[in-house]
Chains A and B, each alone.
Chain A
């Protein structure tokens, strides 16, 4: 177990299609987090930016870009890219600096301005890039992979389209209560079933949209928090950034094939489960300790997969857990009480940070109509392209 760091402040720019640049979203989120923390920007000793590849050169050096926009003040600066895990790695970098005594108080920022429709690789003819190859050779978009996972669950576990739709119904109902969500309308199972098929068996309302958005956190040492009179802050207790183990035998974005298991036996624990296990081990907790979880519901079917990978239920039992209402508001382990990506959409470098913003509100008891009563322990989980694990444990 490692020592805790304090979450002094959390702030977001609402998700949507706003048509502005990522810097504006990030700066607004940063200012909201600083205000929430009651920390002035010049007091920040280090800023960590989660990179967006869509922001051009400023997006690749997001830490400095945000620092310049907020006003150069001489802080340490770091920029990190790990696809969807960028936000978690930014948090982990800030945490490491705090625990090593290199900084007392750190600002973490991620923001994105996403294209309409499918994500696509950057231009050029790049035959050594697996992300470029899967588009060029197969036309395999992200939803195509979500469709493969969904179909596989139907065949192996007997999940139904109705089960998938109920995930959307659940997440849209809480997303409707979240002022930062892009979609704030309840959705019925009939509406999911009536939406167009994108990648069989998944429909438009089973799949998350691409969005603009921003999220930021102010993290500090426990000593700094105490000096500021915050005796009982939300604390980050673990951040998991693990890679898969060879052979990785589940077909995964952006690869065209799995590793072969002909030369080494698979570990028996799939990648996503290993992400959660690393977080549990570092935090010294187990799934039974969780009050709530935020997971990356890129598709409705993928949320069900996370239930099993987080150990909320046994293999193949996710749809049953959902049907029992365990993951709904008031259930044993509510999942995606922010509304999830179903309600937000993807703003890639911001999303893992936004998950921690949500659990911070929940653990403080500030989540309003979405509040999980008595929340004490929360886990966030997602997975970054190219084998980046990402999970955070926060406690109160």
Chain B
């Protein structure tokens, strides 16, 4: 959907952020212009893959159809999906994402380990918009 937010396939799929060479702050979505740490004199921002696994900080779902610019087919019945906020230990950051289809809030607990996998946001005849999904770790794909 947005260029440079993730890369790779299968087990090699990773979210991409940037990291300040001076203070080691990590930014997601990527920050390519300047380091936002007020105590940092500013360093080069280097692309960095984020940890593949993290722990659930919190979660919720969306029982009503979100408005545009979220893309859904109004002809189809609304299928709720879960949203998971995931804490990545080494980056010390929390990243929000949709859960893989089929995972509901009943399958989740705060603190549970999840991993990032490639997903599909929406598609039309010409284009498939890809995204990232969170999935409970160790669940068969």
Q: Which residues of A contact B (CB under 8 A)?
A: 117-118, 120-121, 123, 125, 127, 132-141, 144, 147-152, 155-156, 196-202, 246-247, 249, 251, 256-264
Q: A257-B96, A263-B20, A263-B37 are in contact. Are A120 and B60 (CB under 8 A)?
A: no
Q: Given A137-B131, A246-B38, A259-B36, A200 and B61 touching (CB < 8 A)?
A: yes
Tell me whether chain A's interface is mostly helix, strand or loop, or mixed.
loop
CB atoms of B94 and A258 under 8 A apart:
yes
CB distance from B81 to the nearest CB of A (A): 8
Contact with A along B89-120 (1 / 0, CB 8 A): 01111111110000001000111000000000
Interface size class of B (residues with CB under 8 A): 35 or more
Pairwise interchain contact A261-B60, C-beta atoms closer than 8 A: no
Q: Is the CB of B2 within 8 A of A137?
A: yes
B67 and A141 contacting across the interface, CB-CB below 8 Å: yes
CB–CB A251/B96 < 8 A: yes
B129 to chain A, nearest CB (A): 9
Q: Which of A133, A137, A264 has the most CB of B within 10 A?
A: A137
Do B60 and A263 touch across chains, with their CB atoms under 8 A apart?
no
On whether the beta carbons of A136 and B105 are closer than 8 Å, the reply is no
Task: Name the one of B20, B36, B83, B94 contacting A138, with C-beta atoms under 8 angstroms.
Answer: B83
Q: How far is the CA of A197 from the CA of B35 in the complex (A)?
A: 40
Are A264 and B25 closer than 8 Å at their CB atoms?
yes
Q: Is the CB of B37 within 8 A of A138?
A: no
Main SS class of interface, B: loop
CB of A139 within 8 A of CB of B62, answer: yes
Which B residues are CB-close (under 8 A) to A132?
Answer: 69
> Of the candidates A123, A149, A196, which one forms a contact with B63 in the assembled complex, judged by CB atoms under 8 Å apart?
A196
Chain A residues whose C-beta falls within 8 Å of the C-beta of B131 in the assembled complex: 137
**In the complex, what distance in Å separates the CA atom of A214 from the CA atom of B16?**
44
Q: Which 10 A-B pairs have the closest CB atoms?
A: A263-B25, A147-B60, A155-B110, A139-B66, A263-B23, A261-B92, A139-B70, A260-B26, A120-B67, A152-B58
Cross-interface CB contact of A137 among B59, B92, B121, cutoff 8 Å = B121
Mask for B1-15, Cβ within 8 A of A = 1, else 0?
A: 110000000000000
